[in-house]
Structure 1
Amino acid sequence: MDVCVIGGSRHFGRRLVEELRDAGASVTVVNRGSTPAPPGVTHLRADRDDEGGLLAALGGRRFDAVVDQVCYTPVQAAVAARVFAGRTPRYLLTSTVEVYAHLGRPGGPPLPEQALDLSAEPVDLHLPWGEPEFANSRYAEGKRQAEALLTRSAPFDLVTVRTAHVLGGADFTGRLAHYVERIRRGLPVAVHPAPQRASFVHAPEIARFLARAVTAEFTGPVNAASERPLDVRELCALVGRATGVEPVFTTPAGAPPTPPSPFFFDRCYAMDTTRATRLGFRFSPVTDWLPRAVEEALA
């Protein structure tokens, strides 16, 4: 296959590129060039926000599939729809569990894909999506609007992979490292008075899932997460076992804690992975891979 990956320079995106390459695909990575692409792939330098520059970099290339790792706004989705029209029959948008955040509630059940009604999601291309501060503050909404725009108007078959909170590997977010470091040093971990469960997935496993989705035939949204959601106390208990240090907890009153606790959730919006299982992919339990992710965070 001839596959284009937009982004793919760090974390599980780089693993995805390597998975595709090692499986025999011809891989083209499109990014701004701040990080070299892995050996054995074609590297095109372009800013995906610059439509003219992206068209020029792609030239006449066509692909069997495109994986978009860095689409965060409906404006970026609209550019992708125009640029890749006629260039590919299959487009995978890497999305996020955060698209469900507004639907979560305390004690709520894991949410299936159909819980999010994209037909009712407003899309506003005139908001200041090009301003980083605005886009970052509206991350979940930007992703929902990107999904909605492509679902309604994409000129190709669309798959949206809604990833859980990705842990392990070269994780630039530092979320797991926050808990590992505090527990290792005996510092208290801030937890919500009624901690809510969240979905997690291991970086190598989400890369493998995306690589398999490239060659699959299904379309539409699919949740990608390990089998059992965890609240922050349960997550820290597993970290404590891996580090040999019993976690210490604190429950702040009022405002969110300082320093921020990444999984300080007041609502459950864990994901139901029944569809992924029916499609033939079963994710590993968190207990199988978290010790390895903790070791990586300590390295």
Structure 2
Amino acid sequence: MKVLVLGGTRFFGIHLVEELLLKGCDVTIATRGLTPDPFGDRVKRIKADRTKEEDMKTAFKDKAYDIVYDDIAYCSNDIKYALDNIVCKRYIFVSTISVYDDLHMEIEESEFNPLQGETVWCNREDAAYNMIKQHAERALFQNYASRSAAAVRFPFVIGKDDYTKRLFFYVDHIKRGIPMKIDNIKEPLGFIHSLEAGRFLAFLGDKDFTGVVNAGSKGAVSVGKIIEYTEGKTGKKAVILSEGEEAPYNGADRFSVDVRLAEGLGFSFSKTEDWIWDILDYYILLP
């Protein structure tokens, strides 16, 4: 099976590629060529800036794939430049729970319907993250309705390899005594491990499923529990002040995702509390 991954050089994209290689797929990764990858001669590489239409047209002329995984589409124009220029039988778009206007426990896929509302063609800088992701989903399912496509909505993705360092922020600030401003300390939040995110994407490629699907580890963990655990392990107290540095998960209301649809396809998700403490231990031990 010929598979193209747009992205794939860091975080859950690396785990997706590794899973695809284990399945015996012929994998090509397409990036701007700025980030080295660990795959050696096990993958093919294409250099392209996916935000530029002419770049995409040139890069994928006379090429065809069974599946395209789009790890790095943010806006409707990203969707357009991919699907107008890449020949593929199936397209899987990495979306986000940010498309939901109201975060709460056990969010169901039906709470944002990309077939409703008008598609707005936009670039990444044209609106807030949640809005451009909504427009990306609308573009995919309204304007490319004839294509076999799925959109995977992830909650916060975390792991030891998380380049965003959002979870690390809390550990690092506690260890160094740096004041933090936190506005949602008691709110349980939904997560998925980067390894599990990669595994789910690879799993979905073997299915005939089309449409939107939530994917997240079971349960939710609050920032308060993360702080309490870190304080217990380090012997240091978190400094929480209104004038402290803005914490990365601020503004997120309590939420988790309903994953019954994904599990109905045959995937089994882990429990967040079974692995999040190991990531915190790793961060705590970092110098």
Q: TM-score, normalised on structure 2?
A: 0.89
Quote the residue 1:46 is aligned against.
48
Aligned to 2:110: 114
- CA deviations 1:53-101 (Å, max 9, x no partner) are 22222232211100001100111111222113xx21211001112111x
Structure 2 SS opposite 1:294: helix
Bigger mean CA offset, 44-53 vs 183-192: 183-192
Counterpart mapping for 1:114-263 below 5 A: 114-125=110-121, 127=122, 129=123, 134-135=125-126, 138-154=128-144, 155-187=146-178, 189-192=180-183, 195-240=186-231, 243-245=233-235, 247-248=237-238, 250=240, 252=242, 258-263=244-249
Match of 1:272 in 2: 258
Local SS of the residue matching 2:246: coil
Distance of 1:22 and 1:261 partners within structure 2? 38
Q: Which residue of 1 aligns with 2:74?
A: 72
Q: Summarize the Cα distance change of 1:29–1:266 in structure 2 as closer, same or farther, 3 Å threshold.
A: closer
Structure 1 counterpart of 2:63, from 52, 61, 64: 61
The TM-score, its normalising length taken from structure 1, stands at 0.86
* Conserved? CA contact 2:180–2:246, under 8 Å: no
Separation in 1 of the partners of 2:258 and 2:107? 5
Offset at residue 240 of structure 1 (A): 4.2
Contact 2:180 2:239 in 1 (8 A): yes
Superposed CA offset, 1:138-187 (max 9, x none): 11111111011101122421111111101113211110110111233355
**In structure 1, what is the Cα distance between the partners aligned to 2:272 and 2:90?**
31
- 2-structure distance, mates of 1:122, 1:233: 39
- CA deviation profile, 1:234-264 (whole Å, cap 9, x unmatched): 23334445x3446536363xxxx64111122
1:109 Cα deviation from its structure 2 partner: 3.0
Look up the SS of the partner of 2:172 in the other structure: helix
Distance change in 2, residues 1:240/1:2 (3 Å):
farther
Report the CA distance shift for 1:239/1:79 in structure 2 as closer, same or farther (over 3 A).
same
Would the aligned equivalents of 1:191 and 1:261 in 2 still touch at CA under 8 Å?
yes
Q: Tell me which moved more, 191-200 or 145-154.
A: 191-200
Q: Could you tell me the percent identity over the aligned residues? A: 29
The CA deviation at 1:192 is 2.2
Equivalent AA in structure 1 for residue 54 of structure 2: G
Unaligned runs of at least 5 residues, structure 2: none
Once the two structures are TM-superposed, the CA of residue 267 in structure 1 deviates from its matched residue by 2.5
Q: CA RMSD in A?
A: 2.2
SS of 1:248's partner is coil
For 1:103, the aligned partner's letter is D
Distance 2:173 2:2 in 1: 44
* Cα distance change, pair 30–197 in 1 and its aligned pair in 2 (3 A): same
> Is the 8 Å Cα contact of residues 194 and 266 (structure 1) preserved in structure 2?
no
Contact 2:174–2:239 at 8 Å: present in 1 too?
no
Give the aligned partner of residue 30 of structure 1. Answer: 30
